[in-house]
Amino acid sequence: MKIFILGYPGGMGGANTECWHTVRLWREAGWEVELVPTWGNPRPGRDRTRDQLDAIGAVTHTGYSPETLQAVPDLPGGIVVGMCNSHFTRNFHVLKSLGCRTVWVNCMTFAFPEERQAFVDHGPADAHIFQSEFQRSMLAPELQRLTSYQPSQGHLVRGAFAADEWQFRPADHGPGEPFVIGKLARPAPDKWSSNHWRILASVPYRQRLALVMGWDKALEGKLGKPPAWAEAIKPQGLSPEAFLGRCHALVGMNGGARENWPRVGLEAMAAGVPLVVPDAWGWQEMVDHGETGYRAGSDEEMAYYLARLAYEEPLRLRIAEAARASLDRLADPERLTADWYGVFRSLGRSQRPAEPQPKRIAMPKRPAKPPAVHVAASSPMMISCHCPTFNRPDQLAEVIECFRRQDYPADRRELVILDDAGQYGDQAGDGWRIISVDRRFRTLGEKRNAVVGLCRGDVLAVWDDDDIYLPWHLSQIAAAVSAGARWVRPETIYTLTGGQQRLRTKPTGGIFHGAWAFTREAFEAADGYPMIQSGQDQGLLKRMKAAGIETFSTTERPSYIYRWGSHGGPPHLSAMGKEGYERRGRESIAWTPAVRPRWTKDWVRMTEKKVEAA
């Protein structure tokens, strides 16, 4: 099965470089990739990109035009991807007429006029890729307003990035030595702030220098001539690696452009150059403030954070190292491959690519990762994870990330979160959604029944907001249900209590409700959760047994981590006495406009370390 790209990688601009990284990712998954340049003729031995693609087994078709696309072998009816390529939208009608399954990757946070018109005239693409939730929030409403686009056609897939192509080499900096502040962007006026020189001049460090690349006469007309303490380099005057190798920090202030998933940010993280960027747009999903970089809310804050990095070398190096480590999460190839697999599955069974296979081609080795534990379901069952939550935004971000990392097919699972603190407003991501109401449920049992009622799956998996679900959790449930289980409870789980450094294994003894799953038929036969506060989980156990529902105990590798006092959030209800539910309802609630899924630890790696027996 083939995946076609209409377009070609290049060395300048985020979409062009991302195209290479995406092709490499797909080839490492064992998928066939064929490219149709629009409409150049890159030749072997004369074009570096062509030679790179040939080396990894990607096929390049040359000599074609919009009028002859039907002659590209296997392209009619095939999967065709466009990555911010105007020729894709300009000839969208041709692809539609050939019965192609179309995938559109917009690299911007706005729709180009030509793109908008193509989708208005011919309907949306079969799949639209969003690389950040910010981008989705900017593009999806317009698509829904102007076209027949449905939310199920939108997929969050972060931009592919092979960090192993970059050497981590933070530039040396000693006390009183020149501190080089870099800015790298294409020469588009909206990529450059008119305050650029003023902001850098206000950095309270005498030996500060500026280094910019992407400079041309048009920019000089907007920003003025570079000051004596600045060096301006024309577009592609240096390789990105050489440019970043000279920088001690990189800034991201723009002149109107709102960043989606800035590739220059990933490159800086890989190279060891700390970021100081606006506290806005896709930067908020990429940079953890104070940990992997700084997000500034004003020009003055930007100058302040740059000065901190200039004066505090241990801090600068610590941030650089944390940023590099964060790429294991931001650009995890296993997760990105799974996300793309979900996209291609959604396009229809006849065009579905093979599941990812082990790496088949010679590539620079990535850091070793724990092997995924995946048990394929024997039936395409829909699994709904149901999560009641109250005032745990940090823990909620972590369990959403747990859901996103599941290896069970993305189009056959959902996570429904019911918040009755009115804390979030309605939010949605790739397969998950938060439904937020500002009226407290009378009992937790009623709240659990309500969130189950919002689910559409035939299999219901408990998804508590303060525990951890490992990537193979849903696959194990699916295997058990396929074997005839109506009520799934694991024999063994992991636990992590306050002050504990390692996971412990613990027999469940039939409790630990957070790890349960059951069919909807069994849940309804038991008449759901009793309408009580603490203890509704054991109330459900009694009802299931009274209804004659037998348990199925999974014996595979534990897939659930029970946390007690180890997550820093509000305590378990079971530790708060009979009035715990009411007491929690009186907590002060902080409005949280955006929940950003993330893991605070590498939970999979923790399972690989020495595990203590409880």
For the segment 99-144, what is each residue's pLDDT rounded down to a tens digit? 999 999 999 999 999 999 999 999 999 999 999 999 999 999 999 9
Residue 370 counted as domain residue: no
For the segment 394-409, what is each residue's pLDDT rounded down to a tens digit? 899 999 999 999 989 8
What CATH number corresponds to the domain at position 470? 3.90.550.10
Domain that holds residue 172: 164-330
Residue 355 counted as domain residue: no
| Residues 520 and 567 grouped into a single domain | yes
Query: What is the spatial distance between Cα 225 and Cα 186, in angstroms, rounded to a whole number?
Result: 17
Q: Are 58 and 33 in contact (CB under 8 A)?
A: yes
Give which of 79, 241, 104, 91 is closest to 165, Cα–Cα. Answer: 241
For the segment 346-361, what is each residue's pLDDT rounded down to a tens digit? 997 444 445 455 443 4
The mean pLDDT of 558-570, rounded to a whole number, is: 72
Residue 349 counted as domain residue: no
The mean pLDDT of 521-532, rounded to a whole number, is: 92
| 367 has a pLDDT exceeding 90 | no
Give which of 404, 468, 399, 464 is closest to 606, Cα–Cα. Answer: 468
Could you tell me which residue, 557 or 369, shows the higher pLDDT? 557
| Residues 244 and 157 grouped into a single domain | no
| 497 has a pLDDT exceeding 90 | no
Query: What is the spatial distance between Cα 493 and Cα 510, in angstroms, rounded to a whole number?
Result: 11
pLDDT of res. 498:
60
Number of folded domains in the chain?
Answer: 3
| Residues 591 and 468 grouped into a single domain | yes
pLDDT of res. 363:
40
| Residues 118 and 198 grouped into a single domain | no
The mean pLDDT of 413-432, rounded to a whole number, is: 88
Distances (CA, A) of 357 to 399, 564, 581: 28, 38, 48
Domain final residue pick, 294, 310, 330: 330
Orientation angle between helical segments 313-330 and 263-271, nearest 10 degrees: 120
For the segment 13-48, what is each residue's pLDDT rounded down to a tens digit? 557 789 999 999 999 989 999 999 997 888 888 888
| Residues 323 and 390 grouped into a single domain | no
| Residues 448 and 558 grouped into a single domain | yes
| Residues 231 and 105 grouped into a single domain | no
For the segment 260-269, what is each residue's pLDDT rounded down to a tens digit? 999 999 999 9
| Residues 438 and 486 grouped into a single domain | yes
Domain final residue pick, 119, 138, 161: 161
Residue 344 counted as domain residue: no
pLDDT of res. 483:
85
Residue 352 counted as domain residue: no
Domain final residue pick, 161, 195, 222: 161
| Residues 139 and 180 grouped into a single domain | no
CB atoms within 10 A of CB 297: 11
The mean pLDDT of 323-352, rounded to a whole number, is: 84
| Residues 188 and 230 grouped into a single domain | yes
How high is the mean pLDDT of the chain? 87
| 1 has a pLDDT exceeding 70 | no
Residue 291 counted as domain residue: yes
Residue 447 counted as domain residue: yes
Q: Which of 301-310, 568-577, 589-598 has the lowest mean pLDDT?
A: 568-577
Residue 229 counted as domain residue: yes
pLDDT of res. 580:
59
| Residues 400 and 465 grouped into a single domain | yes
What CATH number corresponds to the domain at position 136? 3.40.50.2000
| Residues 39 and 187 grouped into a single domain | no
Report residue 595's pLDDT band, with 50, 70 and 90 as the boundaries. confident
pLDDT of res. 566:
47
